[in-house]
Amino acid sequence: MSANLAAAPGSPSVSERLAEWITTISPGDVSAATSDTRRNILVDIVGLCFSARDTDYVVAVKAASEPGDHVIIGHKDRVSASSAALINGTAAHGEDFDDTFEGGPVHSGVVLVPALVAAGQMYDLRNDRVMLGIAVGIEVLCRLALTLPKAVHKAGFHPTSVLGAFAATAGICAACEADKKTTANALGIVGSMASGIIEYLGDGSWTKRMHPGWAAQSALRAYGMAKAGFKGPRHVFEGTHGAFTTFAHPITPLTENLFADLGSNWVMDAITFKPYPCGTMVQPYIDCAMALKARSVSTQNIRRIVCKTAEGIVHRLWEPLDLKQKPPTAYAAKFSVPYGVALGLVRGHAELGDFTDASVTDPDLLAIAGKVGFEVDPANPYPAAFTGHVRIEYEDGSVEEAERGHMRGGATEPLSRLEIDDKFRANMRFGGHENPDAVLALCDRIAAGEGSSALIKELGQP
């Protein structure tokens, strides 16, 4: 895309149009349904932060933090605002158990909750403003994903990280009641901070885990700079060298998806809450495999297992096939459809304890994963929906098959509030917390807009 997509002289740019909405919305403009969604997201993210608090990657990013007085969720330690955002975002996304958005895909809570928790303390915001910022940022992130369907991943970048930087900036500006000029400049500034390559797919290394936290801390910096008068480019999205061109070449962005019914139709209400701690598009395949196990299908004398799949996920979840059939690390296993299928067929579940160094060397799992291959289905609806399909072909010619047209936990088959709360409790206990209901009650007070940063600080380890 070589053409400049900038608006005609005198017309507002994309960032200015976003700023117009961001600076006029108030807490009372958020619908009841959207308020429920953001409450569930807050609960989910806090539970995930607790579950990962003793992991090696959280220990490492904490060791690199700067001193300060901002809370790390689930820890006694206090650090700088940017370090808190980075650590909380890394912890929440570390096990890939956080919310996702069919139509993106992007992870939103892991960017917006850390960003607004830090901003709430930094600027001593009321929690109704914090929750407004979470809703505004998540809505912007989901809509940006719809504006650039599949393109950011294809270009080699992580949409959660790249688009999340803009979304978190939008959320902080809304929460802090920034004016239009400051908001547009902050969006322009953060475009130079947006980053996140997907090379982690090659070896199962840790960088994906830090991407949401990097976006969150970048947004804090961008807002602070804009507030102080620093200027960013007006056409940060649509300009010749803007984000749409840089991160989504060569498609033409669907800008109408960013603005259509903005503020009246909250697309974030379709967010999916994950039932399993692994890559988003792996999950429907796990459900298919578990359905087959529930039918007591045999795992003996299998000739091969074939899964229909979308072309758009092959490079992330299927290739190189030999690596996906034998993941080199527990983290790499989270982005392997063959491993997920093996879990469903052999163990009948996929829990945090199933993605460990011991599990990825389990010979029973590897024997099944080694038989799993794929065929691209040109009619697959991805990214509008995340589907699953597993066909077992036996040596005697018989076949067993299961398929799903959607991901469990999403708009078609949502998790209930009770299921989300139970997931929270399980994650809290996994992280060693003995009284999850007390923290759940605290989350509910924050989600209801009660109080200010004093409540947020209680999210640290009691």
Q: In angstroms, rounded to a whole number, what is the distance separating the alpha carbons of residues 358 and 280?
A: 23
Q: What is the 3-state secondary structure (H, E, C) of the chain?
A: CCCCCCCCCCCCCHHHHHHHHHCCCCHHHCCHHHHHHHHHHHHHHHHHHHHCCCCHHHHHHHHCCCEEEEECCCCCCEECHHHHHHHHHHHHHCCCCCCECCCCCCCCHHHHHHHHHHHHHHCCCCHHHHHHHHHHHHHHHHHHHHHCCCHHHHCCECHHHHHHHHHHHHHHHHHCCCCHHHHHHHHHHHCCCCCCECHHHHCCCCHHHHHHHHHHHHHHHHHHHHHCCCCCCCCCCCCCCCHHHHHHCCCCCCCHHHHCCCCCCCHHHHCECCCCCCCHHHHHHHHHHHHHHHCCCCCCCEEEEEEEECHHHHHHHCCCHHHHHCCCCHHHHCCCHHHHHHHHHHCCCCCHHHCCCCHHHCHHHHHHHCCEEEEECCCCCCCCCCCEEEEEEECCCCEEEEEECCCCECCCCECCHHHHHHHHHHHHHHCCCCCHHHHHHHHHHHHCCCCCHHHHHCCCCC
| CB 44 within 8 Å of CB 100 | no
Specify whether the CB–CB gap between 113 and 134 falls below 8 A: yes
Amino acid at 60: A
Beta bridge partners of 306: 373, 391
Give the closest residue to 98 by CA, choosing from 114, 86, 90, 110.
Answer: 110
Amino acid at 227: K
CA distances from 86 to 222, 302, 426, 428 (A): 15, 45, 24, 20
Helix axes 14-22, 159-175, angle to 10 degrees: 50
Amino acid residing at 399: V
Return d(Cα 48, Cα 445) in angstroms, integer. 18
Are the C-beta atoms of residues 396 and 298 closer than 8 Å to each other?
no
Specify whether the CB–CB gap between 443 and 46 falls below 8 A: yes
**Residue-level pLDDT, tens digit, the chain, 462 residues:** 333 455 566 799 999 999 999 999 999 999 999 999 999 999 999 999 999 999 999 999 999 999 999 999 999 999 999 999 999 999 999 999 999 998 888 999 999 999 999 999 999 999 999 999 999 999 999 999 999 998 999 999 999 999 999 999 999 999 999 999 999 999 999 999 999 999 998 888 999 999 999 999 999 999 999 999 999 999 999 999 999 999 998 899 999 999 999 999 999 999 999 999 999 999 999 999 999 999 999 999 999 999 999 999 999 999 999 999 999 999 999 999 999 999 999 999 999 999 999 999 999 999 999 999 999 999 999 998 999 999 999 999 999 999 999 999 998 999 999 999 999 999 999 999 999 999 999 999 999 999 999 999 999 976
Domains and CATH numbers, the chain: 14-274+425-457 (1.10.4100.10), 280-404 (3.30.1330.120)
pLDDT, position 4: 47
Give CA–CA dist 119/85, Å, rounded: 9
Say if residues 71 and 136 touch (Cβ distance below 8 Å): no
Q: Which two tokens stand for residue 333?
A: 């296993």
100: which 2 tokens? Answer: 């996702």
pLDDT at position 1:
33
Residue type, 211: H
Q: Cis (ω within 30 of 0) for the bond into 383?
A: yes
Rounded distance between C-alpha atoms, residue 101 and residue 143, angstroms: 10
CA 360 to chain centre: 24
Q: What is the spatial distance between Cα 385 and Cα 313, in angstroms, rounded to a whole number?
A: 12
